[in-house]
């Protein structure tokens, strides 16, 4: 802290003045210390953990923590880029579909214990499914279990899922959600779950590598090894401390100062600083997200595909990526991420071409008749509100920059900032002109949520996009047993979306993680940063 | 002696206040640049105070800001984002013998979009002052009305109103303001309503106290004895005098409201971006404290100077209007 | 004395009820649906309706008010949407941290304001007095959150003298109790200094004017005439008579102190009531907003009550005066 060679006399005097305060640093715990064993890992998180029960709440940090507390039947591999995702055994040793793909049987490991010594059995699997689908629990992802008719306990270590229909992502849907402790949590009636979310912490038993040693809301969550974890020798860390630090600047400063070991979601503008730091390693991971602007085709302004295409041409996406993401993003062209096997690589992103945009708009009758710099048609200026949510600096920045670019093309976009909840409400009610937002997508490649006309009334098709051919393609893809066979259909679908631009697909950002170089055994991926936390350890300084 | 010091405070406070108000009022004319304009944000981002950049206008409509330019026989060499590149003369619209004909200076640096901090400070001051002045006007109106009703009306009304005032004054103002702003709506008008609607209690108390005092004085008793109607007593004899002690309070109130508004905007519930106000300028700078200290530091200085001006003014007014206080 | 005490407590209780009612109305008349936060768009409507009933949102306002008040009396503030735990428990966990920060800041205020105020009050009109007067106005004029940010930049990030956030360092639970307290003080220092200094202006001015006033009063003049040392005259007789009003002023400055604590806690990631309030408001966590807002006002009321009682204990005339009102 006090360097030995102050650079100037004034500074030295200043230090003297502060010496009294510095004395307090006797107890200074600024740097996390590695002791014997795997050390204490310190992670900064912006959001607070909300509890161990995933059926009641979900946030990124929740998923990260819970994936270290509980096991799933299978572990989805981060290989979805090259082919439909594959699975590795976790709680299940083996699995097999019946001939008609209507039943799926899992053989469970028989050596896995809950942290209180009770074995994990098929009963837990069946009960978890019941809790997941119970209306009074109201799990957000319960729809993933729609096609599961029943779960049958064949014997303590064999469990069979019965489906009402066969479809390509059955395995993905079965594997959604952790297996929860029936003997511990089953004691609280399902009807009381929502009201007593804190009960689950007091009655926590885990099957994963870690358990919760301490949780102080607004302060920190401390994970400690689960001594009954079935893989011997793991986890290696002594503790993993997740410190709550809502301010991004504070997280970054503490990472740079060596006070924390890991920071997720480094703002691209700060990436260079982290990359240049001798003790830090910057990892840029292609995330499963894309940003977009949805044009509300329920409103006449955006009803014509030509107009939407012109808007895309008027936005300098490459320039924005340079200005906002420092290159840690690439232009998006379709709802299928460009790194994924089903992506149509022949799609050329629409270029930034304001002249062409103006020409297209002029062909649709939009001209600057009154000379005020804003295009108009039938006396109506090309003016609309472009919304995004508050609390996301990059989106806010993007919105402000796009507003400026559109103005150069004669289009007046007024920014509107709503909190996330209000924005979702406005979007689902189609009560907006255009919205800048992003999707974090799963690996199913199902684009029904946003582009099928059946999702207009009660789904996420905010922009009222309706094209019978797109609808038919989405349904045909969903009905194809072998996902690989659907590749031509995926390509045709993307071609249509590219031409009609229901969205302006903006970019696919990278997820930036800063890690202390002393961390070994870490392999963060786009699914989860702490996906294999049990293998992490800190090299002694 | 105290009289003289009152004048001294008054002079200084008045001068600072006037200067700030004038600067805010004249923002459209004295701002170096358009506060919303983002020329070449990638290159102009987070430039320290005093940076001067060359403006290169290109034939395709884009504008580049360059650290340095060099005239070459075939066109222009431009240093931008750390590297040099050449542009043919046909692409550059504003070629001049010494490179280009336009340069931009950012006296107080730039923010994350390459916008001029000095201009944003001036325009932000306009918004912050407007919100504070309107909110105080609202608070004064509400406070005088409620205080007068309590002081002149029947005892029951007085008791009810004053207990209400007590209850509202028990809330830490920022908690109250935040709760209202968070649950109702945010924006400039909302900020005025919220700040005004939660700032009248002290005014009401002061007015009531003064009204009660004046009501007992001889000339009011005399007017009553001569049969003047109650409204006449209220508006002609009591209220004009009752508001005198409010002058000093008003000046202090404006300063206080600027502080509260800035905290509200800083916390994200006040004036919404991209409209600049001093509070959200600081919030903008918070994220980049390590890269560009000037973005957060300078608006704070502006707030402190302004609030100090109003505080000196209020102090001076109190010293002059109420010689008892020292 | 007992009568005064009872009356004063009863008045505070009545005010507390008014405060609770005001908070409730404030929130429940606000537009928007608190359920929107919890209910995922995928949740079917019938289920949403069930949740609505569960939380009593289908009942009229008066019924909800009584139900809520009944809960509050039993200490049940509902379940926080954000933390998924009882709002009262979340709040009680944060309360000591705010009291700690507020108490430390109050101490800083006194340490700064009393000596400087006395020095200024003893020599009215001197350059020192002028300097202190303007200095007190300057302290008042500085936005607390901005001073906090600048202090972070300079002392935490720049010089590395103080930790930038939290109550304790990592692994502090394994320290010996003595070191643990030092660690806490080390973390507390910067936020307490920021909050204490930026709110010391009012107190400073008060001490100055009290001393100035007291110095001209007969008992002080008499004390001086008796030949008591100047130091004794100023500190015992001059300041002593200002003790009662000082307590009252401290009581009155509580709301501002809590407001300052809110932004200080946000800037320094200090896990107290203020940061809780802010998180709750960002998430529109109705039960928690209600609880925090009501508690902040209750703290003020209790603080004022304490100040009044202490003042009454110190000065019997106050009791009589309160009788008269």
- Does the distance separating the beta carbons of A198 and C84 come in below 8 Å? yes
Query: Bigger pLDDT: C250 or B19?
Result: B19
Task: Say how far residue A266 (Cα) sits from the centre of its chain.
Answer: 14
C325 confidence band (pLDDT: 50, 70, 90): very low
Q: Smallest CA–CA separation between B78 and chain A, in Å?
A: 18
A428 vs C41, C79, C86: nearest CB: C41
B179 vs C26, C137, C146: nearest CB: C26
Task: Say how far residue A197 (Cα) sits from the centre of its chain.
Answer: 23
Report, in this order, helix, strand and coil percent for chain C, each rounded to 5.
Answer: 80, 0, 20
Cβ(A289)–Cβ(A429) under 8 Å? no
* B42 at A interface, C-beta within 8 A: yes
Helices and strands counted in chain C (H then E): 17, 0
Cβ(C313)–Cβ(C107) under 8 Å? no
Q: Which candidate, B236, B304, A197, places its Cα nearest to that of C134?
A: B304
Q: Give the C-alpha separation, B27 to B36, whole Å.
A: 13
- Does the distance separating the beta carbons of B291 and A247 come in below 8 Å? no
Query: Which residues, numbered 244 to 303 in chain A, qualify as contacts with chain C under a Cβ-Cβ cut-off of 8 Å?
Result: 244-247, 250, 253-254, 257, 259
From chain A, pick out residues whose CB is under 8 angstroms from the CB of C85.
51, 197-198, 217
Q: What integer is the mean pLDDT of A395-417? A: 86
Half-sphere exposure for B240 (CA within 13 Å, toward CB):
7
Helices (H), A229-304: 248-256, 268-276
What subunits make at least 3 CB pairs under 8 angstroms with C? A, B
The rounded mean pLDDT for chain A is 84
Q: Give the C-alpha separation, A385 to C58, whole Å.
A: 34
- The percentage of residues in chain B with a pLDDT greater than 90, rounded to a whole number, is 27
- The percentage of residues in chain A with a pLDDT greater than 90, rounded to a whole number, is 34
- Does the distance separating the beta carbons of B287 and A397 come in below 8 Å? no
For residue B60, pLDDT over 80 is answered with no
Condensed to tens digits (0 to 9), the pLDDT of residues A157-215 reads: 999 999 998 888 888 889 989 999 999 998 999 888 877 777 898 899 999 999 999 88
Alpha-carbon Rg for chain A, nearest whole angstrom, is 26
* A28 at C interface, C-beta within 8 A: yes
- Does the distance separating the beta carbons of B300 and C150 come in below 8 Å? yes
The secondary structure of C97-130 as a DSSP string is: HHHHHHHHHHHHHHHHHHHHHHHHHHSTTSHHHH
A27 vs C164, C165, C182: nearest CB: C182
Q: Give the C-alpha separation, A283 to A525, whole Å.
A: 9
Distance linking the first and last C-alpha atoms of chain A: 17
The tokens for B57 are: 């206008």
Q: Give the C-alpha separation, A537 to A534, whole Å.
A: 8
Q: Which candidate, A46, B114, B49, B298, places its Cα nearest to that of C150?
A: B298
Q: Smallest CA–CA separation between A314 and chain B, in Å?
A: 12
- Does the distance separating the beta carbons of C157 and B300 come in below 8 Å? no
The tokens for A78 are: 């981060």
- Does the distance separating the beta carbons of C182 and A29 come in below 8 Å? no
From chain B, pick out residues whose CB is under 8 angstroms from the CB of A395.
none
Place of tokens 């102080």: A216
Across-strand partners of A214?
A222
Query: Which residues, numbered 421 to 450 in chain A, qualify as contacts with chain C under a Cβ-Cβ cut-off of 8 Å?
Result: 421-422, 424-425, 428
Q: What is the predicted pLDDT for the residue at B169?
A: 85
Q: Give the C-alpha separation, C287 to C88, whole Å.
A: 9
Q: Give the C-alpha separation, A400 to A315, whole Å.
A: 12
Which positions ≥6 away from C213 have C-beta within 8 Å?
none
Which positions ≥6 away from A3 have C-beta within 8 Å?
none
Q: Give the C-alpha separation, A210 to A68, whole Å.
A: 6
Q: Give the C-alpha separation, A503 to A336, whole Å.
A: 13
Q: Give the C-alpha separation, A216 to A218, whole Å.
A: 6
Query: Bigger pLDDT: A417 or A74?
Result: A74
C193 confidence band (pLDDT: 50, 70, 90): very high
The secondary structure of B99-121 as a DSSP string is: EES-EEEETT-B-TTS-BHHHHH
The rounded mean pLDDT for chain C is 81
Condensed to tens digits (0 to 9), the pLDDT of residues A83-137 reads: 878 888 999 999 999 988 899 999 999 889 999 989 999 999 999 999 999 888 8
- φ, ψ dihedrals at A530, nearest 5°: -100, 35
Q: What is the predicted pLDDT for the residue at C238?
A: 66
A22 vs C83, C89, C161: nearest CB: C161
B171 vs C147, C153, C296: nearest CB: C296
Q: What is the predicted pLDDT for the residue at C50?
A: 60
Residue A292 zone, left/alpha/beta (φ > 0; ψ -120 to 50; rest): beta
* A57 at C interface, C-beta within 8 A: yes
Q: What is the predicted pLDDT for the residue at A240?
A: 93
* A253 at B interface, C-beta within 8 A: yes
Q: Give the C-alpha separation, B116 to B122, whole Å.
A: 10
**Environment class of A70 (CB within 10 Å of its CB; exposed 0-12, middle 13-18, buried 19+):** buried
Q: What is the predicted pLDDT for the residue at C180?
A: 86
From chain B, pick out residues whose CB is under 8 angstroms from the CB of A422.
none
For residue A34, pLDDT over 70 is answered with no
From chain C, pick out residues whose CB is under 8 angstroms from the CB of A27.
169, 175, 179-180, 182-183, 185-186
Q: What is the torsion angle, in degrees rounded to the nearest 10, for the CA atoms of residue A423, residue C274, residue C159 and residue A33?
A: -90
From chain A, pick out residues whose CB is under 8 angstroms from the CB of C79.
195-197
Q: What is the predicted pLDDT for the residue at A70?
A: 94
Q: Which candidate, B39, B62, B57, B58, places its Cα nearest to that of B110?
A: B39
What number is the ipTM of this complex? Answer: 0.88
Cβ(C256)–Cβ(C301) under 8 Å? no
From chain B, pick out residues whose CB is under 8 angstroms from the CB of C14.
163
Cβ(A277)–Cβ(B317) under 8 Å? no
* B1 at C interface, C-beta within 8 A: yes
Question: Which helix (H) or strand (E) covers residue B84, if one does?
Answer: strand B83-88
Looking at A265-341, which runs of residues are DSSP E strands?
280-286, 289-295, 329-331
For residue A14, pLDDT over 80 is answered with no
Return contacts of C319-323, CB within 8 angstroms, 24+ apart. C319/C1, C319/C4, C322/C4, C322/C7, C322/C8, C323/C4
B140 confidence band (pLDDT: 50, 70, 90): very high
* B182 at C interface, C-beta within 8 A: yes
Q: Give the C-alpha separation, C65 to C143, whole Å.
A: 37
Helices (H), A387-515: 393-408, 420-428, 448-451, 455-458, 468-478, 487-500
Query: Which residues, numbered 227 to 286 in chain B, qualify as contacts with chain C under a Cβ-Cβ cut-off of 8 Å?
Result: 255, 259-260, 262-263, 266-269, 282, 285-286
Q: What is the predicted pLDDT for the residue at C52?
A: 65
- φ, ψ dihedrals at B53, nearest 5°: -125, 150
C164 confidence band (pLDDT: 50, 70, 90): confident
From chain A, pick out residues whose CB is under 8 angstroms from the CB of C269.
244-247, 250
Cβ(A103)–Cβ(A97) under 8 Å? yes
* A24 at C interface, C-beta within 8 A: yes
Query: Which residues, numbered 29 to 58 in chain C, qualify as contacts with chain B under a Cβ-Cβ cut-off of 8 Å?
Result: 30-32
Cβ(B102)–Cβ(B55) under 8 Å? yes
Across-strand partners of A520?
A537
Cβ(A223)–Cβ(A65) under 8 Å? yes
Q: Give the C-alpha separation, A166 to A131, whole Å.
A: 23
From chain C, pick out residues whose CB is under 8 angstroms from the CB of B262.
143, 145-146
Give the total residue count for chain A.
541
Query: Bigger pLDDT: A373 or B16?
Result: B16
- Does the distance separating the beta carbons of A247 and B112 come in below 8 Å? no
Q: In what order do the strands lie in the sheet with B75-80?
A: B68-72, B75-80, B83-88
Give the total residue count for chain B.
326
**Closest-CA residue of chain B to C289:** B179
Q: Which candidate, A278, A232, A271, places its Cα nearest to that of A252?
A: A271
- φ, ψ dihedrals at C182, nearest 5°: -60, -40
The tokens for C116 are: 């400087």
- φ, ψ dihedrals at C178, nearest 5°: -65, -50
**Environment class of A216 (CB within 10 Å of its CB; exposed 0-12, middle 13-18, buried 19+):** middle
Q: Which candidate, A518, A498, A426, places its Cα nearest to that of A237?
A: A518
From chain C, pick out residues whose CB is under 8 angstroms from the CB of A21.
161-162, 189
Overall pTM surpassing 0.90 (yes/no): no
What subunits make at least 3 CB pairs under 8 angstroms with B? A, C
């Amino acid at each position: 802290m006090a360097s030995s060679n102050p650079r100037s006399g004034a500074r030295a005097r200043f230090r003297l003045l502060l010496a009294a305060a510095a004395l307090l640093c006797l107890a200074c715990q600024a740097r996390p210390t590695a002791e014997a064993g795997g050390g204490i890992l310190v992670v900064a998180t912006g959001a607070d953990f909300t509890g161990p029960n995933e059926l009641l709440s979900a946030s990124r940090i929740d998923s990260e923590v819970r994936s270290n507390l509980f096991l799933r039947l299978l572990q989805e591999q981060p290989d979805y880029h090259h082919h439909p995702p594959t699975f590795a055994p976790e709680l299940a040793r083996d699995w097999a579909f019946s001939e008609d793909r209507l039943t799926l049987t899992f053989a469970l490991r028989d050596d896995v214990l809950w942290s209180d010594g009770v074995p994990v059995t098929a009963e837990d699997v069946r009960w978890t499914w019941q809790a997941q689908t119970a209306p009074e629990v109201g799990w957000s992802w319960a729809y993933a279990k729609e096609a599961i008719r029943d779960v049958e306990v064949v014997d303590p270590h064999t469990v069979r899922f019965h489906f009402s229909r066969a479809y390509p992502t059955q395995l993905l849907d079965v594997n959604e959600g952790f297996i929860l402790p029936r003997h511990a949590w089953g004691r609280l009636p399902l009807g009381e779950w929502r009201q007593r979310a804190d009960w689950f912490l007091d009655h926590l038993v885990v099957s994963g590598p870690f358990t919760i040693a301490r949780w102080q809301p607004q302060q920190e969550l401390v994970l400690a090894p689960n001594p009954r974890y079935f893989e011997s020798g793991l986890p290696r860390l002594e503790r993993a401390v997740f410190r709550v630090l809502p301010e991004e600047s504070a997280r970054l400063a503490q990472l740079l100062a060596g006070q924390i070991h890991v920071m997720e979601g480094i703002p691209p503008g700060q990436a260079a600083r982290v990359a240049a730091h001798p003790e830090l390693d910057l990892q840029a991971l292609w995330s499963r997200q894309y940003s977009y602007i949805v044009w509300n085709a329920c409103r006449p302004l955006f009803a014509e595909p030509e107009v939407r295409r012109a808007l895309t041409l008027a936005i300098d996406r490459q320039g924005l990526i340079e200005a906002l993401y420092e290159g840690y993003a690439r232009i998006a062209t379709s709802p299928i991420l460009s790194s994924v096997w089903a992506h149509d690589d022949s799609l050329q992103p629409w270029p930034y071409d304001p002249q062409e945009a103006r020409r297209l708009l002029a062909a649709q009758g939009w001209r600057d008749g009154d000379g005020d710099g804003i295009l108009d048609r039938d006396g109506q200026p090309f003016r609309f509100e472009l919304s995004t949510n508050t609390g996301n600096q990059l989106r806010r920045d993007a919105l402000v920059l796009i507003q400026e670019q559109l103005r150069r093309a004669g289009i007046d976009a007024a920014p509107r900032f709503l909190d996330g909840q209000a924005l979702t409400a406005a979007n689902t009610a189609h009560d907006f002109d255009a919205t800048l937002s992003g999707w974090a997508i799963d690996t199913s490649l199902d684009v029904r949520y946003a582009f099928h006309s059946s999702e207009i009334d009660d789904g996420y098709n905010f922009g009222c996009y309706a094209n019978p051919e797109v609808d038919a393609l989405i349904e045909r893809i969903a009905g194809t047993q072998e996902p690989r066979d659907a590749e031509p259909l995926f390509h045709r679908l993307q071609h249509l979306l590219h031409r009609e631009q229901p969205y302006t697909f903006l970019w696919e950002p990278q997820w930036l993680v800063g890690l202390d170089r002393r961390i070994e055994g870490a392999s963060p991926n786009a699914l989860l940063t702490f996906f294999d936390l049990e293998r992490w350890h800190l090299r002694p300084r | 002696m105290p009289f003289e010091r009152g004048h001294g405070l008054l002079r200084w406070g008045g001068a600072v206040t006037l200067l700030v108000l004038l600067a805010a009022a004249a923002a459209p004319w004295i701002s170096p640049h358009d506060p919303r304009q983002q020329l070449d944000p990638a290159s102009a981002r987070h430039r320290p105070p005093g940076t001067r950049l060359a403006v290169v206008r290109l034939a395709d409509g884009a504008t580049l800001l360059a650290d340095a330019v060099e005239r070459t026989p075939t066109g222009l060499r431009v240093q931008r984002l750390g590297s040099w590149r050449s542009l043919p003369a046909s692409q550059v619209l504003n070629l001049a013998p010494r490179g280009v004909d336009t340069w931009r200076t950012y006296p107080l640096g730039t923010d994350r979009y390459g916008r001029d901090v000095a201009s944003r400070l001036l325009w932000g001051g306009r918004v912050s002052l407007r919100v504070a002045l309107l909110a105080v006007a609202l608070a004064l109106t509400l406070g005088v009305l409620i205080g007068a009703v309590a002081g002149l009306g029947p005892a029951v009304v007085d008791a009810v109103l004053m207990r209400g005032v007590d209850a509202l004054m028990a809330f830490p103002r920022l908690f109250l303001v935040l709760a209202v702003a968070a649950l109702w709506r945010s924006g400039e008008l909302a900020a005025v309503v919220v700040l005004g609607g939660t700032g009248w209690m002290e005014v009401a108390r002061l007015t009531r106290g003064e009204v009660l005092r004046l009501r007992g004085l001889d000339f009011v008793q005399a007017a009553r004895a001569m049969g003047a109607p109650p409204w006449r007593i209220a508006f002609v004899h009591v209220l004009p005098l009752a508001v005198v002690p409010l002058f000093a309070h008003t000046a202090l109130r404006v300063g206080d409201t600027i502080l509260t508004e800035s905290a509200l905007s800083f916390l994200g519930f006040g004036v919404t971006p991209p409209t600049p106000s001093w509070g959200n300028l600081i919030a903008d700078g918070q994220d980049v404290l390590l890269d560009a200290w000037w973005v957060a530091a300078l608006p704070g200085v502006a707030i402190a100077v302004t609030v100090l001006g109003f505080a000196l003014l209020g102090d001076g007014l109190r010293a002059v209007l109420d010689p008892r206080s020292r | 004395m007992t009568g005064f005490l009872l009356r004063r407590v009863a008045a505070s209780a009545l005010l507390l009820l008014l405060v609770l009612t005001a908070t409730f109305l404030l929130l429940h008349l606000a537009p928007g649906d608190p359920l929107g936060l919890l209910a995922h768009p995928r949740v079917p409507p019938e289920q949403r309706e069930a949740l609505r009933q569960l939380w009593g949102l289908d009942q009229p306002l008066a019924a909800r008010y009584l139900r809520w008040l009944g809960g509050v009396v039993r200490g049940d503030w509902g379940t926080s949407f954000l933390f998924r735990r009882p709002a009262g428990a979340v709040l009680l966990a944060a309360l000591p941290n705010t009291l700690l920060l507020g108490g430390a800041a109050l101490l800083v205020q006194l340490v700064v304001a009393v000596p400087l105020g006395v020095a200024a009050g003893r020599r009215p009109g001197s350059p020192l007095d002028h300097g202190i007067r303007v200095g007190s106005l300057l302290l008042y004029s500085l936005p607390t959150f901005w001073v906090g940010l600048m202090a972070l930049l300079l002392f935490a990030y720049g010089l590395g003298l103080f930790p930038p956030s939290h109550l304790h360092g990592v692994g502090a639970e394994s320290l010996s109790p003595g070191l643990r307290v030092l660690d806490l003080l080390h973390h507390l220092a910067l936020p307490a200094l920021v909050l204490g200094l930026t709110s010391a202006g009012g107190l400073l001015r008060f001490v100055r004017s009290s001393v100035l006033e007291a110095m001209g009063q007969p008992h002080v003049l008499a004390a001086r005439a008796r030949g008591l040392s100047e130091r004794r005259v100023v500190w015992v007789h001059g300041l002593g008579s200002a003790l009662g009003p000082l307590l009252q002023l401290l009581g009155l400055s509580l709301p501002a102190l809590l407001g300052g604590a809110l932004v200080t806690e946000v800037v320094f990631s200090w896990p107290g009531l203020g940061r809780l309030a802010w998180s709750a408001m960002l998430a529109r966590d109705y039960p928690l907003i209600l609880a925090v807002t009501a508690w902040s006002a209750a703290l003020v009321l209790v603080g004022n009550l304490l100040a009044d009682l202490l003042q009454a204990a110190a000065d019997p005339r106050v009791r009589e005066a309160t009788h008269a009102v």
